[in-house]
Amino acid sequence: MNPASHAHPDVPSSEGDLIARFTRELELLHGRAIVANSEAEAAGALAALCRSENVRSVAAGRGITIDVDSFVNPLVQAGIAIEMIRADGVGEAERAAVRERLARCDLGLAEADYGIASTGTLAVAADASRPSSLTLLTPVSVVVLRAERIVPNLVALFEKIGPTGVAARRLTLISGPSRTADIEKRIVMGVHGPRGLHVIVIR
């Protein structure tokens, strides 16, 4: 008997299953998933997105596994201004200045620590070179996620990070673009944060 037949139906059992569940749940939350087979393909998807959204400025933070330069260099060649977040400013004045610059950019680019398949949620642990404002302030947010960093559920996420990791940095959980129903009880996107969330999953 195939051992996979004993798996719980709600728990994806392979990387392909995890990607499919994550992208389905993300899109139910009005996010958009783009699946790429390489960093080069992912960078091309980002460039195409910038063209379609008429992006003129991009804020980018430190990558975890990706080479951020490979993503932003084609954008520079296309005439897009790049605001790179560096770790050299850690005081409150420097953090405030970074937030002001980020707020003026059209798109924020960050890499997620993990994705949660069961809810289509991104987990991003902030630090000086990858502040939480990078995914919260710009009108369009693009988050890169390695497929091998998609976990089945929230329990698996905290098992991966561990209590020390949770305590060490601010962990932001992102489920779709910003939305509110405060205005006439209708769902409105982008009032308190990004109106668009695009996740580029790299196999």
Q: Give 82-108 pLDDT, tens digit per residue.
A: 999 876 545 666 777 778 888 899 999
Please check the confidence at residue 63 and state whether its pLDDT lies above 50: yes
Owning domain of residue 79: 12-202
Q: What is the mean pLDDT of residues 16-36?
A: 96
The verdict on residue 4 lying in a domain is no
Provide the number of structural domains found in the chain: 1
Identify residue 115 by its one-letter amino acid code: G
CATH of the domain at 145: 3.40.50.10420
**Does residue 29 lie within any of the structural domains?**
yes
Give this prediction's pTM: 0.83
C-beta of residue 107 within 8 angstroms of C-beta of residue 67: no
146 occurs within a structural domain: yes
Which has the closest alpha carbon to 119: 187, 28, 35? 28
For residue 147, tell me if it sits in a domain.
yes
> Is residue 5 assigned to a domain?
no
- pLDDT for 85 equals 87
Total residues belonging to the chain: 203
Assigned domain for 1 exists? no
176 domain residue, yes or no: yes
What per-residue confidence (pLDDT) applies to 11? 53
Packed helices 68-77 and 39-52: angle between N→C axes, nearest 10 degrees: 40
